[in-house]
């Protein structure tokens, strides 16, 4: 937890430096839509001075960091509005999608992996792991296209284009969730099988404790420590996977905003969106560390 602030500082520094080496001049992009006669060298220099781009790199960096601490991520070149407002407006859609997809992944992957572990080497185990292998092997964009084909065109249960409809979030969430559920189920299986072969499980069984109670009270609790790590990482992966999902399903969110800002070369917007996603990712890992201590009393943080 003590590394939270240094990690955020490092991420912001890397994002700032990457934006500096990308080709293109933000001032030229802002003036691209102006009339040819109105774009003069004096106008360009004046705008560069107003934006602070005529300052040395270290001065620009210090201004970027201090403004970011206050929540000011600059102004979008394309929209001519604060980046913070644009990111927060779109982020609520992406976070809702990621949370629902994470719920789908846990509700499918955890029971599937636990069932495969307690029925090791049975047909249930084989079917469960085949489903897991299928989910890991399918690219996200291809699975999204299959979802649209079957649920929208063949069965006509869900809209093909998500938009901002409430029901439109189901297919993107199922697509993101199924891919993550496959990984969670495989890890749950391997962790639970390992826990079931520990000495404390054999001791509990020798004392006459029912197998189901041993699994619920002892083995599964220890197996979840590794699973929680992957769940936290998967949530961060869902934020980045939302770029693909929101593009495939035409859903307004942070992912589609990032794609548009890259196409428009809107550097301040790219910078703000990437920094926001990285911050959420770091905070999720902090929550995972706190859950560790809850699952295993031996883990303590100073």
- Report how many domains make up the chain: 2
How deeply is 44 buried, as exposed, middle or buried, from its count of CB atoms within 10 A (0-12, 13-18, 19+)?
middle
In a domain, 100, yes or no: yes
Is residue 64 domain-shared with residue 97, that is, in the same domain? Answer: no
pTM above 0.85, yes or no: no
Is residue 90 domain-shared with residue 39, that is, in the same domain? Answer: no
Is residue 8 domain-shared with residue 64, that is, in the same domain? Answer: yes
Is residue 126 domain-shared with residue 262, that is, in the same domain? Answer: yes
pLDDT of residue 275: 83
Range of the domain at 172: 84-295
**Blockwise average pLDDT, block size 10, the chain, 302 residues:** 73 80 68 56 73 77 83 79 87 85 87 83 81 76 81 76 66 84 84 78 73 72 77 77 77 80 78 83 78 64 50
pLDDT of residue 138: 77
Domain edge (last residue) among 70, 103, 128: 70
pLDDT of residue 36: 46
Is residue 220 domain-shared with residue 286, that is, in the same domain? Answer: yes
**Directed axis angle between helix 267-295 and helix 220-248, to 10°?**
160
Is residue 66 domain-shared with residue 206, that is, in the same domain? Answer: no
In a domain, 12, yes or no: yes
Is residue 65 domain-shared with residue 99, that is, in the same domain? Answer: no
Is residue 98 domain-shared with residue 186, that is, in the same domain? Answer: yes
Is residue 52 domain-shared with residue 90, that is, in the same domain? Answer: no
In a domain, 78, yes or no: no
Domain edge (last residue) among 39, 70, 101: 70
Q: Three-state SS string across the chain, please?
A: CCCHHHHHHHHHHHHHHHHHHCCCCHHHHHCCCCCHHHCCHHHHHHHHHHHCCCCCHHHHHHHHHHHHHCCCCCECCCCCCEHHHHHHHHHHHHHHHHHHHHHHHHHHHHHHHHHHHHCCCCHHHHHHHHHHHHHHHCCHHHHHHHHHHHHHHHCCCCCCCCCCCCHHHHHHHHHHHHHHHHHHHHHHHHHHHHHHCCHHHHHHHHCCCCHHHHHHHHHHHHHHHHHHHHHHHHHHHHHHHHHHHHHHCCCCCHHHHHHHHHHHCCHHHHHHHHHHHHHHHHHHHHHHHHHHHHHCCCCCCC
Is residue 211 domain-shared with residue 252, that is, in the same domain? Answer: yes
Is residue 224 domain-shared with residue 99, that is, in the same domain? Answer: yes
pLDDT of residue 35: 47
In a domain, 76, yes or no: no
In a domain, 198, yes or no: yes
pLDDT of residue 31: 64
Is residue 253 domain-shared with residue 176, that is, in the same domain? Answer: yes
The total of other beta-carbon atoms located within 10 Å of residue 149's CB is 12
């Amino acid at each position: 937890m003590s590394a939270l602030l240094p990690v955020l500082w490092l991420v912001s520094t890397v994002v700032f430096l990457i934006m500096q080496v990308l080709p293109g001049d933000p001032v030229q992009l802002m003036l691209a839509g102006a009339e040819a006669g109105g774009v003069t060298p004096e106008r360009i220099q004046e705008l560069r001075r107003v934006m602070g781009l005529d300052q040395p790199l270290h001065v620009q960096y210090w201004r970027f960091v201090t403004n970011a601490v206050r929540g000011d991520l600059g102004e979008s070149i394309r929209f001519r509005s604060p980046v913070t407002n644009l990111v927060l407006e779109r982020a609520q859609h992406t976070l809702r999608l990621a949370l629902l997809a994470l719920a789908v992944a846990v509700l499918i992957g955890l029971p599937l992996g636990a069932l495969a572990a307690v029925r090791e080497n049975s047909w249930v185990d084989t079917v469960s792991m085949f489903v897991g292998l299928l989910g890991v092997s399918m690219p996200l964009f291809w699975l999204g296209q299959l979802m649209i084909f079957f649920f929208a065109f063949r069965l006509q249960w869900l809209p093909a284009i998500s938009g901002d409809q409430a029901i439109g979030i189901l297919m993107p969430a199922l697509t993101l969730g199924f891919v993550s559920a496959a990984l969670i189920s495989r890890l749950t299986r391997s962790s639970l099988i390992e826990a079931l072969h520990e000495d404390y499980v054999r001791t509990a069984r020798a004392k006459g404790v029912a197998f189901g109670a041993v699994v619920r009270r002892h083995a599964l609790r220890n197996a979840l420590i590794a699973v929680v790590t992957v769940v936290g990482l998967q949530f961060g992966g869902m934020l980045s996977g939302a770029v693909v999902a929101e593009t495939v399903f035409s859903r307004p969110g942070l992912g589609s905003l990032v794609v548009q800002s890259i196409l428009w070369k809107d550097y301040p917007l790219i910078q703000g969106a990437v920094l926001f996603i990285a911050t959420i990712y770091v905070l999720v890992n902090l929550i995972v560390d706190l859950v560790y201590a809850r699952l295993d009393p031996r883990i303590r943080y100073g």
